Amino acid sequence: MLENQIRRLLKRLRNEMKIKFDRHVPLQDLLSDRWETAEFYGFGEGSSCYNNVLILGNVKVGKNTWIGPNVVLDGQGGLEIGDHVSISAGVQIYSHNTVHRSVSLGLRPTEYQPTKIGNGVYIGPNSVVQMGTKVCDKAVIGAMSFVNGDIPEGGKWYGTSLLLE
């Protein structure tokens, strides 16, 4: 029966994941390959991208970059991510927003600005990087941070700070 075959396959895939990586992942990640997903999107050699990552628009990713589960990569305004970057689970990186369109009741357009993440950057879990931000090489963004301003090379950003217009 097909149902039993599927259950056996699922059990085998779970066991293989447990042995190889000592982790449990959702069914979709058992059936897909993170490196093949990254290759399909034209990301750099050695990069990996979980199957459940939301990828919008023009997203360019360098070599040996890890993109964790439940990430949003918004390249509608252009998004570049360098080499050897770690993008932790739940991170959201934007290159557009609809703030002015919404508050003007549709009179103003959606805004787009390119966002750039340099080489050797670490972005902690559940952080948000706003459109137009430049995160320079070897910067660290702590978990649950909100970033709406540029971070210099080697800079560290933890928490929330608003750069108002």
Question: Where exactly are the structural domains of the chain?
Answer: 1-31, 33-152
Interatomic CA distance for residues 99 and 105, integer angstroms: 10
Query: Which pLDDT score, from 0 to 100, does residue 164 have?
Result: 47
**Stretch 73-97: mean pLDDT:** 98
Q: Cα 6 vs. chain centroid, distance in angstroms?
A: 31
Quickly tell me which residue has 């990640």 as its tokens. 29
Other Cβ atoms within 10 Å of 135 Cβ, number:
28
Return mean pLDDT, the chain: 93
Angle value at C-alpha 143, between 141 and 144, nearest 5 degrees? 105
**Stretch 5-29: mean pLDDT:** 89
Architecture label for domain 33-152: 3 Solenoid (2.160)
Query: Which pLDDT score, from 0 to 100, does residue 161 have?
Result: 61
Q: What's the predicted TM-score (pTM) here?
A: 0.89
**Stretch 53-73: mean pLDDT:** 97
Residue 64 has pLDDT above 50, yes or no: yes
Instruction: Find out whether 16 and 33 touch, Cβ atoms under 8 Å.
Output: no
Q: Please say whether the dihedral angle defined by the alpha carbons of residues 29, 35, 36 and 37, taken in this order, is positive or negative.
A: positive
What are the tens digits of pLDDT across the range 128-150?
999 999 999 999 999 999 999 99
In sequence order, the β-bridge partners of residue 56 are 74
